[in-house]
């Protein structure tokens, strides 16, 4: 095993190299634990969009709210445990308890919430509350990944990796071959043994997950990082530009990676006017902007 998740004070669970890793090595490959698909529960999505139209939700979109409700209703015990343990800011002014109460009340009124005894087997049979909804929405907003067709996906280890403006890993999108017309709920399942195939079978390429590939040699115990949403062009700019881009794209934190910290120190001690910096190694061109809409 090349990686392991560790608890870091003030940051939650983070991903680290468990051994030395060579440049170009694939250190982690994962399929999502849970996928929030717009077509799964159209009634819930329609209700959230109506509420957002009447009085805009704090995040400016409904994706995290929708994923939160779906994961409460349908996530397996293992996936739900990962969700509730995900790091998120203790306070986010965009996600008020009053808003959660409003959303919860409408869902309850329309009979769209499960009650005790109706959740997936193995899950604690507890009703969704506004405070639990708030926790789940926050977890999705800060840890979810965009997929195809406006999907939102949650990963186990990959979702614990930190952002850096000098990332040591590139993200690679994985695709697989699946039977044409197969239910999307089984899109991540294997087609089975070769003997199950027959002449004339048709397959199509679909999203299957993500992988991390080291873009430089990593030492054991080094934290794994990647760029959440910044393109190669973004990464070539100064810390002020990069931080502004992260904020504009929905990431409500101030990046304090080693590169940003060093540039801030130089800016403050030398009184230099911030400007473009030298280009740095970044993710492959095909990965640029992968998470722009989060």
Same domain, 134 and 240: no
Final residue belonging to a domain, choices 154, 174, 198: 154
Beta strand pairing status for 152-154 and 145-146? antiparallel
Residues 131 and 41 in one domain: yes
Distance CA 38, CA 148 (A): 10
User: What's the pLDDT score for residue 193?
Assistant: 38
One domain, residues 200 and 275: no
Give the pTM: 0.76
According to DSSP, residue 161 is labeled: P
User: CA 80 → CA 101, 123, 249, distances in Å?
Assistant: 21, 8, 26
Q: Which domain holds residue 170?
A: 1-32+161-226
Confidence of residue 111 (pLDDT cuts 50, 70, 90): very high
Q: Are residues 123 and 174 in the same domain?
A: no
Write the pLDDT tens digit of every residue in 129-180.
999 999 999 999 988 888 878 899 999 999 899 999 999 999 998 888 777 6
Quickly state the pLDDT bin for 61 (edges 50, 70, 90): very high
Tell me if 153 sits within 8 A of 32, measured CB to CB.
Answer: yes
What's the domain count of the chain?
A: 3
Which pLDDT value is given to residue 149?
Answer: 81
In the predicted structure, residue 128 carries a pLDDT above the cut 60: yes
Residues 88, 190 within the same domain: no
239 shares its domain with 253: yes
pLDDT level of residue 183 (50, 70, 90 thresholds): low
Q: Both 64 and 147 in a single domain?
A: yes
147 and 130 both lie in a single domain: yes
Q: Are residues 170 and 251 in the same domain?
A: no
Show which of 226, 253, 271 is a domain's final residue.
Answer: 226
Check residue 210 and report its DSSP letter. E
Instruction: Give the 3-state secondary structure of residue 268.
Output: helix
142/185 same-domain check: no
- Tokens 């800060």 -> residue: 142
Does the structure show a pLDDT above 70 at 285?
Answer: no
pLDDT at residue number 291: 36
* pLDDT tier at 90, thresholds 50, 70, 90: confident
CA neighbor of 233 nearest in space, from 163, 282, 275, 290? 282
Q: Are residues 52 and 125 in the same domain?
A: yes
**CATH value at residue 208:** 2.170.270.10
| Look-up of token digits 């990431």 | 251
- Choice between 227 and 290, residue whose per-residue pLDDT is larger: 227
The last residue of one of the domains, among 126, 154, 182, is: 154
d(CA 219, CA 77): 34
Do 43 and 121 lie in a common domain?
yes
């Amino acid at each position: 095993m090349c990686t392991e998740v560790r608890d870091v004070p003030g940051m939650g669970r983070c991903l680290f190299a468990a051994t030395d890793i060579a440049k170009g090595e694939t250190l982690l490959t994962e399929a999502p634990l849970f996928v929030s698909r717009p077509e799964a529960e159209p009634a819930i999505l329609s209700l959230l969009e109506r509420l957002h139209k009447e009085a805009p939700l704090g995040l400016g979109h409904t994706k995290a709210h929708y994923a939160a409700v779906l994961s409460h209703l349908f996530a397996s015990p293992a996936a739900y445990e990962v969700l509730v343990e995900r790091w998120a800011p203790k306070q986010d002014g965009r996600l008020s308890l009053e808003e959660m109460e409003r959303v919860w009340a409408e869902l309850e009124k329309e009979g769209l919430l499960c009650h005790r005894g109706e959740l997936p087997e193995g899950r604690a049979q507890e009703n969704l509350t506004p405070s639990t909804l708030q926790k789940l929405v926050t977890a999705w907003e800060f840890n979810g990944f965009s997929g195809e067709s406006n999907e939102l996906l949650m990963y186990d280890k990959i979702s614990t990796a930190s952002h850096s403006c000098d990332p040591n890993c590139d993200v690679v999108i994985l695709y697989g071959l699946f039977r044409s017309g197969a239910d999307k709920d089984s899109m991540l399942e294997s087609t089975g043994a070769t003997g199950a195939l027959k002449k004339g079978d048709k397959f199509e390429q679909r999203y299957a997950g993500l992988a991390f590939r080291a873009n430089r040699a990593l030492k054991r115990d080094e934290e794994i990082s990647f760029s959440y949403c910044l393109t190669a062009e973004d990464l070539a700019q100064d810390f002020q530009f990069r931080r502004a881009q992260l904020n504009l794209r929905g990431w409500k934190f101030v990046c304090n990676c080693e590169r940003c910290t060093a540039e801030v120190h130089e800016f403050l001690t030398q009184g230099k006017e911030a400007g473009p910096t030298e280009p740095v190694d970044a993710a492959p061109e095909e990965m640029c902007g992968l998470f722009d809409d989060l």
